[in-house]
Amino acid sequence: MKQKTWSRKKINDEFTGLLKADGTPMSRQQIHMARKKAHGVCLTCGEPAVGVYCLRHTIAARERMRRKLKYRRRLRQSPSYILEQSVRSKRRLSPRIRAQQVRRLKSRGRGKAAVK
Ligand SMILES: [Zn+2]
């Protein structure tokens, strides 16, 4: 039998009962995202994340915003393109370069958190 991985009980951790800047309670969806972010899993699918999303959803988010903001150019040297290329070509990126690109992606997420 498959082991149960969830519980009906309310989660009680540092995110429980968080308030927004204006003093109103944070929505359960926002808290759910904050928990995922803290655990380092993708906000969409729960796979191990690079930055805030896994690589697949990082690319999805990039393409979604490209369409929305009508961007024409592609910044080929940005981490999401470099990591995408390494997956597509099945060519192993050296771990050092990969770690460097992942760090760049992560620092981008942190910059946004600082604004919030
Ligand atoms: Zn994902």
Q: Do 102 and 50 contact (CB within 8 A), yes or no?
A: yes
The rounded Å distance from CA 50 to ligand 1 centre is 9
Residue 105: predicted pLDDT: 81
Residue 110: predicted pLDDT: 55
| Residue ranges covered by each domain of the chain | 7-39, 51-115
Model confidence pTM above 0.85: no
Average pLDDT estimate for 67-74: 93
The rounded Å distance from CA 58 to ligand 1 centre is 7
The rounded Å distance from CA 60 to ligand 1 centre is 9
The rounded Å distance from CA 9 to ligand 1 centre is 26
Q: For 26-116, where are the alpha helices, taking DSSP H only?
A: 28-39, 55-69, 79-88, 95-115
Residue 113: predicted pLDDT: 46
Residue 50: predicted pLDDT: 87
Residue 71 CB coordination number (10 Å): 12
* Closest C-alpha among 42, 60, 59 to residue 51: 42
Q: Do 32 and 40 contact (CB within 8 A), yes or no?
A: no
52: burial class by Cβ within 10 Å (0-12, 13-18, 19+)?
A: buried
